[in-house]
């Protein structure tokens, strides 16, 4: 069990460029979550998958954001036409199942700076 | 809409003190409540998970309680150490986690 892995850990991009983050969940975890966190705030929910199905998307996930989880394994989060307000840490998490007893495990996050 | 509040926002204590961090939530229809630790610039580390049917959980010097009817949870840290300095986040779970804004803890020698 290698934990939740995120790549890249840091990304600096110019406004208007597209960026993509990858998340590899803990193997056999069928739930995968994406969160966004800005300085001094708690993580905000973006979206989650159960296997390959995207079950919920937050209003925070504008049309410029898209997430996929092909084959129910790794996931990607793409941000198109980045804006300075997109600067944040993007956190990925996974869990074995939903429900009461299942701990959600987080990765180390991917920092995005839009200049 | 579920809202999670943590008090205090920041706390600075000398080493050795016992301390209590508070978390409140507005909707008691939750699966569980988790407490996390976050070091600066890092991801979240799960500390304790309390299922909705439980009242408390303990791990080492940490004890978390849950009172679902009143929408409150506390995290008790015994004999605090400088290595406990971090931000502590509580989160309530339904199909996803809803987080508070955290308590930033500093324990000084």
Q: Over chain A (115 residues), what is each successive 10-residue block's mean pLDDT? A: 89 98 93 94 95 91 92 94 96 81 88 97
Nearest residue in A to B34, CA atom: A103
Residue B91 has pLDDT above 60, yes or no: yes
* B44/A91 CB distance under 8 A: yes
pLDDT mean across residues, chain B: 95
Tell me if chain B has a CB within 8 Å of the CB of A1: no
Given a cut of 90, whether residue B17 has pLDDT beyond it is yes
- Nearest by CB to B51, which of A4, A44, A100? A100
Q: What percent of chain B has pLDDT over 90?
A: 88
Which residue has better confidence, A60 or B27? B27
> What confidence score (pLDDT) does residue B22 get?
97
Could you tell me if A111 lies within 8 Å of chain B, comparing CB atoms?
A: yes
Phi, psi of A84 (to 5 degrees): -60, -30
Q: Provide the pLDDT for residue A101.
A: 66
Nearest chain B residue to A41 by CA distance is: B101
User: In angstroms, rounded to a whole number, what is the distance separating the alpha carbons of residues A58 and A62?
Assistant: 8
Contact across the interface for B53 and A56, Cβ inside 8 Å: no
Contacts of B91 in chain A (CB under 8 A): 42-43
- Residues A37 and A60: their CA atoms lie apart, in Å, by 12
> In chain B, what residues touch A99 (CB-CB under 8 Å)?
31
pLDDT at position A28 is 85
């Amino acid at each position: 069990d290698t934990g939740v892995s995120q790549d890249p850990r840091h990304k600096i991009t110019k406004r208007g460029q597209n960026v993509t983050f990858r998340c590899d969940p803990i193997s056999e975890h069928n739930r995968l979550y994406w969160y966004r966190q800005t300085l001094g705030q708690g993580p905000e929910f973006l979206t989650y998958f159960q296997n390959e199905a995207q079950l919920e998307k937050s209003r925070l996930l504008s049309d410029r954001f898209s997430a996929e989880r092909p084959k129910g394994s790794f996931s990607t989060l793409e941000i198109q036409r980045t804006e300075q307000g997109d600067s944040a840490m993007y956190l990925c998490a996974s869990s074995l199942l939903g429900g009461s007893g299942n701990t959600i495990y987080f990765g180390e996050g991917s920092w995005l700076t839009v200049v | 809409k579920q809202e999670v509040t943590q008090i205090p926002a920041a706390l600075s204590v000398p080493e050795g003190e016992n301390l209590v961090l508070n978390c409140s939530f507005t909707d008691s229809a939750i699966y569980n409540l988790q407490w996390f630790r976050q070091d600066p610039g890092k991801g979240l580390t799960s500390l304790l998970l309390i299922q909705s049917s439980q009242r408390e959980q303990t791990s080492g010097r940490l004890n978390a309680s849950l009172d679902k009817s009143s929408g409150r949870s506390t995290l008790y840290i015994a004999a605090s150490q400088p290595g406990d300095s971090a931000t502590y986040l509580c989160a309530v779970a339904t199909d996803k986690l809803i987080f508070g804004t955290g308590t930033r803890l500093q324990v000084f020698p």
